[in-house]
A and B are shown apart, each in its own frame.
Chain A
């Protein structure tokens, strides 16, 4: 295989023309020496080329590439497609052990043997080049898209866009560069910086302190340092504690905390009273002042923003209702306590140190009397409002007036009685389960209150002033009652009615408490939440009507339950009823499906819808029960018709063609003769349509000023109208608002060259970050200035 390439070459040469052959031979000849024998040998070899066996092993020729070889010689163009392959040329390398590097290279080359394609035609190549370049350009330019969009949408652009940020020097920067120039400054500077008493930033102690420490003995220094450390630690603990407590959001926690604080203060005052009566008096005076302020202010009345907002929610939210209730209770408590305090002090003065229990009782009785006496006082207790209310009524039952009082007195009775009560009520309750539950709740609540009182009376024995406590208890009892009343309310009306019905009439006290509770509830609702009793009841009626059409069976019970308690209530209800059934005052309205945008499912279930509709109508009628809409509308229409009619014109002038003056009689004929009769009115458009008024006199002149088509950029007519309705001028807006509203879109300064927007400025690396920092430093002012753009943030 060693002579493979040579053979190939020779083979090719034989195929070539004679001249070529000789040329190659010549070249060989040059290499070889020109001895005759050898020449002959060569000739032999050439002539016997066809016989391959002859050359084998005999002739070892050396072939060397020559520069003079014409490339055309080795063409493989027309000899039957026999191409020269690389293998033919360097195949001999395979047998040698040398040239390993070359061999690997060749192998690699052979692996990816591929023919290069012919270059494209110039126009085609250029087109590709252009399209690539265009794509790159597009991409490069596209980085501006967000900026362009931002600028187009900006509410205001201030040109030139890139202005150097103007910033005021900060204190820190001033301090850093400060150098004292005057004598005074120098002196102060020395004191602040040179003195050893000056505080140092990175040291705990001042120089002087350190020196002092050093001057001490070691033990002393240690103890001193320890002390200091302890103090510091305590301080920080305390601060942390305060911060922690401050963070607690629970209102209950704060309430309890405040209560305990107040309690502690009270105790302190009492303590003081014993030790130093003068100081105690001072304290009491302070408390009095506090209460006076409370009375003067409306702090815990339901007039505040919070309270009003809560009251709006109260209808739907039990918690809100409770919150408002609590606040009012608080105000009541606060305004009452002053009386208690006074009483307390007076009793203290009078009786000195008597038995505590008696003292408490006495105080209680007195307060009750005073409260009952001055019912004109607006700060009186809520329970006693009932009395005033009942006084206003036509026929107030005498018992009612005293009922709360008796009730309270009952509370004061020994425990055995109450237990008896309990027993009796329980016996009664066996009849009806629900009722018994109800009763139990009331009485258990009372019991709890009593237990509490007992507990406190024990405390009293330990030496506390009782009157205040007693007061508080009393109010607490009231609260308890109220709460139970509320619960009852929530249970629903039916149970309440049942309970009332089943209650024996003879049990005055029981009924009294219950009624008191109920009436009080009613009263509370009216004052705080503006939630009328009759309204709620009717709503419930409506509800029950919607649920069960057979509520009428229950209805006879109602007057029975109500009639003995509250005649006025019934009256009101009757009025409401009247409105309900007034035959004259309603339109027959067909439910129109067309106008509503809300999908109606009337077809699916007609019955339900009709019921709903009825209910809705009832609701509406209830809502407008008092204002007589229908008759008002009829009247309005009548007036409109009247105004639309042409009027007679009276052209009569007294004294014209006649004697005039006082006492001259005018001929009525003359009067009528000068009256110009109006033509008969045109038929109105809304004639026969009872529920509409069509205004026919529109202003034609106005038409020229009105926009006929919805302008571009507005989604709807209402949107456009809204844009017109909002005024811009300073008659309607504050100066700052006017300045903001009338901001021009583009602001330029005269005499300032506006350069084209520059990429270097806009896409500066880390510019955004830097700007943020600046913005933080200077309140974000520079940020806006720097961009020259104000965004649409409204």
Chain B
């Protein structure tokens, strides 16, 4: 006969060791824990406020360049290595952990226009205004040798403006008057692509489908290439010139361009008639952008002296970084562990930022971690509530940016009003209202 008695298993309340946290038996009866929505709302509000309190994104600056930092390169195999090229032709290799410069190379005369590390992590390629492509070894010279000599130098016919390396093979692409595909072993390009433009400013290999290339040209166009074929694939002409292009590292057919018209446009290469998203918030030309390695977000640096982080699916930035001393941001990179953002700007400094402004650096205890994930979820849950949203969205921006934002808004409103009026006062159906996305692409050329 089974007789039920009240009994408690010591495992349920006892602790295994002295250092264990006392296990608290909980009664989940909802009657004992009333007002759950209200309480969680308060918690969400507090979490949002705390997030703002702890939002200190600036980690540190790397000081050492004597001229504006023009380009940057991440090391694909080492998180602590960063390469920067300055406007005086100097390349510096930094150790991000100790925040010091490991090596300085006087690589070019004039600007260093671009850099990339080879996929075998052995060398770095750089181009400059002196019409040369130089390959440098990443292993530092031994104590005896003092002169830094390039491993290889290729003299080009014209100025190179951009360089990118194939993600696997020993080939790389440069752009200038044409897009050239080079092999490490040859001094002549394997192939040259041109499509009626004399000046291209950026070329990037697709990191997933590695044969594809995209470049931005001075004639406001974006051109796609396939390195296997002899001709380019397609050309899209936008309203204004695109400065930089970046491929999404997780979605093979998605790329984003940083445009002169203050916006960023995300395209699907299968449908180039219009971008699938417009990312607005900058108030001046966007000079550089880089995707986070998760492919969910990207960061952009602008001529308006700010850095903004955009989620790929959102039209507005989720974060804006700026400091008083930071000038035009020429180059920006998202670190490969998705934790930091690195920016190089006109005033010779390289800055390190956190990708999540309020994130705590360093190891978290499990309790801290669970508390943070809980508050994150709460913020997400109550994000539509006006108070939470107000606090979460509040940012301080420089006066210039603030006024320009207002000005842009007014301009945009007036333009919209004008369009509406035009539609209202014309024969119904004669003027079709165009969506903002449809206005971006001027022409798609085959």
Interface residues of A (CB under 8 A from B): 126-127, 129-131, 133-134, 137-138, 140-142, 144-145, 148, 151-152, 157, 159, 289, 292-293, 296-297, 704-708, 711, 720, 723-725, 727-734, 738-739, 741-744, 746, 748-759
Are B43 and A746 closer than 8 Å at their CB atoms?
Answer: no
Bound: A711/B389 CA distance, A: 12
Among B289-321, those with CB < 8 Å from A are: 293-296, 313
Are B229 and A133 closer than 8 Å at their CB atoms?
Answer: yes
State whether A751 and B386 are in contact (beta carbons under 8 Å apart), knowing that A724-B381, A729-B374, A757-B250 are contacts in the complex.
no
Are B231 and A129 closer than 8 Å at their CB atoms?
Answer: yes
Are A157 and B251 closer than 8 Å at their CB atoms?
Answer: no
Contact of B253 among A129, A142, A289, A708 (CB under 8 A): A142
Are B338 and A141 closer than 8 Å at their CB atoms?
Answer: no
Q: Does B330 contact A (CB under 8 A)?
A: no
Are B338 and A733 closer than 8 Å at their CB atoms?
Answer: no
Q: Does B249 contact A (CB under 8 A)?
A: yes
Bound: A706/B41 CA distance, A: 11
Q: How far is the CB of A68 from chain B (nearest CB, A)?
A: 41
State whether A144 and B252 are in contact (beta carbons under 8 Å apart), knowing that A738-B374, A742-B374 are contacts in the complex.
yes
Are A707 and B385 closer than 8 Å at their CB atoms?
Answer: yes
Bound: A138/B209 CA distance, A: 11
Bound: A436/B282 CA distance, A: 96
B-side contacts of A711, CB under 8 Å: 384
B-side contacts of A137, CB under 8 Å: 212, 224, 226, 233, 269
Q: How far is the CB of B48 from chain A (nearest CB, A)?
A: 13
B-side contacts of A725, CB under 8 Å: 36-37
Bound: A731/B24 CA distance, A: 12
Contact of A732 among B28, B233, B336, B382 (CB under 8 A): B28
Are B294 and A296 closer than 8 Å at their CB atoms?
Answer: no
Are A728 and B40 closer than 8 Å at their CB atoms?
Answer: yes
Q: Does B207 contact A (CB under 8 A)?
A: yes
Are A705 and B387 closer than 8 Å at their CB atoms?
Answer: yes
Known: A297-B1, A728-B377, A733-B28; 20 extra A-B contacts, CB below 8 A, are: A144-B208, A144-B252, A148-B250, A151-B251, A152-B313, A159-B294, A297-B2, A704-B386, A706-B385, A707-B385, A729-B40, A730-B374, A748-B338, A750-B337, A753-B337, A755-B293, A756-B167, A756-B249, A758-B208, A759-B208
Contact of B337 among A706, A728, A752 (CB under 8 A): A752
B-side contacts of A130, CB under 8 Å: 231-234, 446
Bound: A126/B269 CA distance, A: 20
Bitwise interface map of B from 185 to 215 toward A, beta carbon under 8 Å scored 1, else 0: 0000000000000000000000111001000
Are A728 and B381 closer than 8 Å at their CB atoms?
Answer: yes
Are A741 and B224 closer than 8 Å at their CB atoms?
Answer: no
Contact of A707 among B33, B77, B378, B386 (CB under 8 A): B386
State whether A756 and B377 are in contact (beta carbons under 8 Å apart), knowing that A733-B28, A746-B294, A748-B338 are contacts in the complex.
no
Bound: A197/B244 CA distance, A: 79
Bound: A723/B208 CA distance, A: 37
A-side contacts of B384, CB under 8 Å: 707, 711, 720
State whether A296 and B337 are in contact (beta carbons under 8 Å apart), knowing that A137-B226, A151-B250, A756-B167 are contacts in the complex.
no
A-side contacts of B212, CB under 8 Å: 137, 141
Bound: A743/B380 CA distance, A: 12
Are B233 and A753 closer than 8 Å at their CB atoms?
Answer: no
Q: What band does the interface of chain B fall in when counting residues whose beta carbon is under 8 Å from A? A: 35 or more
Could you list some 28 contacts between A and B, CB below 8 A? A130-B232, A133-B233, A134-B224, A134-B233, A137-B269, A138-B269, A144-B208, A144-B251, A159-B338, A296-B1, A704-B386, A707-B385, A728-B381, A729-B374, A731-B33, A732-B36, A738-B370, A742-B370, A742-B377, A744-B377, A748-B337, A753-B76, A753-B77, A753-B79, A754-B249, A754-B337, A755-B293, A757-B252
A-side contacts of B207, CB under 8 Å: 756
Q: How far is the CB of B51 from chain A (nearest CB, A)?
A: 14
A-side contacts of B208, CB under 8 Å: 144, 756-759
Q: Does B376 contact A (CB under 8 A)?
A: yes
For residue A293, which residue of chain B has the nearest CB? B1
Q: Does B140 contact A (CB under 8 A)?
A: no
A-side contacts of B269, CB under 8 Å: 137-138, 141
Are B249 and A133 closer than 8 Å at their CB atoms?
Answer: no
Bound: A756/B255 CA distance, A: 14
B-side contacts of A297, CB under 8 Å: 1-2
Bound: A748/B335 CA distance, A: 12
Are B1 and A708 closer than 8 Å at their CB atoms?
Answer: no
For residue A728, which residue of chain B has the nearest CB? B377
Q: How far is the CB of B256 from chain A (nearest CB, A)?
A: 15
Q: Does B373 contact A (CB under 8 A)?
A: yes
Q: How far is the CB of A605 from chain B (nearest CB, A)?
A: 46
Bound: A157/B297 CA distance, A: 14
Are A127 and B386 closer than 8 Å at their CB atoms?
Answer: no
Q: Does B428 contact A (CB under 8 A)?
A: no
Bound: A742/B39 CA distance, A: 17
B-side contacts of A145, CB under 8 Å: 253
Contact of B382 among A127, A724, A749, A759 (CB under 8 A): A724
Q: Does B30 contact A (CB under 8 A)?
A: yes
For residue A136, which residue of chain B has the nearest CB? B226
Bound: A730/B385 CA distance, A: 22
For residue B232, which residue of chain A has the nearest CB? A130
For residue B363, which residue of chain A has the nearest CB? A750
A-side contacts of B43, CB under 8 Å: 729
Among B147-203, those with CB < 8 Å from A are: 167
